[in-house]
Amino acid sequence: MARAFEKLSDLKVRKVKTAGYLGDGGGLYLQVSPSLSKSWVFRYQVNGRTREMGLGSFNTFGLRDARDRATGCRKLLADGIDPIEQRNAAHQRKQLSDARVMTFGQCCEKYIEAHRSGWKNVKHASQWDATLRTYCTLLWPLDVAAIDTVLVMKSLEPIWKVKTETASRVRGRIESVLAWATVRKFRTGDNPAAWRNHLDQLLPKRSKVQKVEHRAALPYSDIPQFMTKLRLRQGLSARALELQILTATRPGEAAGAQWEEFNVPAATWIIPAERMKAGKEHRVPLSQTAVGLLRSLIPSAPTGKLLHVVGHVFPGVKDRPLTTAAAMNLLKDLHPDITAHGFRSTFRDWAAETTKHPREVIEAAMAHRLKDKSEAAYQRGDLLIRRARLMNDWDRHCRSAG
């Protein structure tokens, strides 16, 4: 038997075609608009003031639903709580909670932006963004507060054994982003990407699974013949590779060379720290052939005087330097079984096996840090004069008959 204040029926609610209010009792009304759309409202009094609270559309909430909602409101009133104020407060809490929610992807972007200016390598930011987007697709859209060890492992396990070096970097980057999110109060608790006493219990050490991949290198006895073929090639790719070989630098260091880095009359090249792998400025003594190569690239005035130039020594497209891929493409034709980076190994083997130059001079020429800390502590200078002799000897070997 219906209670006295339940005055409406499902049939009456469905069939009503007159605008106005139909009362069900207990403050619950069906509101019919002039356009005959229907919705539920709850009328009540608080401190002598009449208030009206919407309970939703009739299309969404039937009569029973509306009565349940009205009952909830009456219970709040019985406890001295204004239903409208309570709903507004809940809405504000949700808005505040939503404002504090950050996805892992948003945290990645914020972290990279916060650290961009402090990274010496200009490519660092793009590398971070690319690796996190590529290998953290599962984490990217999730609330950063919800990231746990299970989710981190799902991102790392598929690549830990097949791309160990990359996976290790990704883990470190995830850890840094989550640490940033914790400090910014977007998450709490331990860092699920931490290695020590955590992921090191779940994943094998990188050294245990990573395969050492040696760069394919040309035997030093074959360098003279190779350099002869290289010098016959036209184009900036060939000249960039030639400069790289003559200076024992890395492919990116040569391809990204800027004219402002060179003092051609003094036969020196200063590669700034932000372009070096170790993040330390590197002075390179230039051999006679290297100086001649650079002079051949500098445009001259009608009088024959060399003009002052700035910008990329080996310009690529869209105001960017030549990419390292250019040298690799050239090698596919000249010598497809070697890599551009492998010429550093060629130089190292030649210097160690055929010359009397000290090991520390050879290592300095390659911009390597000495592993022996005590030895490194005593080596204050960069051995430029002694390295100049080494590079001149290398130049002569490259121009020899083999």
> pLDDT at position 215, please?
56
pTM, to two decimals: 0.52
3-state secondary structure of 53: strand
DSSP label of 253: H
Output the six-digit token pair for 207: 């050294």
Residue indicated by tokens 């290592």: 363
DSSP bridge partners of 315: 321
8 A C-beta contact, residue 57 and residue 69: no
What is the chain's pLDDT, residue by residue, as a tens digit (402 residues)? 445 678 899 999 999 999 999 999 999 999 999 999 999 999 999 988 999 999 999 999 999 999 999 999 999 999 999 999 999 988 887 776 666 678 999 999 999 999 988 886 667 888 899 999 999 999 999 999 999 999 999 999 999 988 888 899 999 999 999 999 999 989 999 999 999 999 999 999 887 776 545 557 899 999 999 999 999 999 999 999 999 999 999 999 999 999 999 999 999 999 998 888 888 899 999 999 999 999 999 876 566 566 678 899 999 988 889 998 899 999 999 998 899 999 999 999 999 999 999 999 999 999 987 555 444 444 556 899 999 999 999 999 999 875
Residue type, 98: D
Gap between the Cα atoms of 317 and 295, Å rounded: 22
Q: Which of 226, 219, 247 is nearest to 349 (CA)?
A: 219
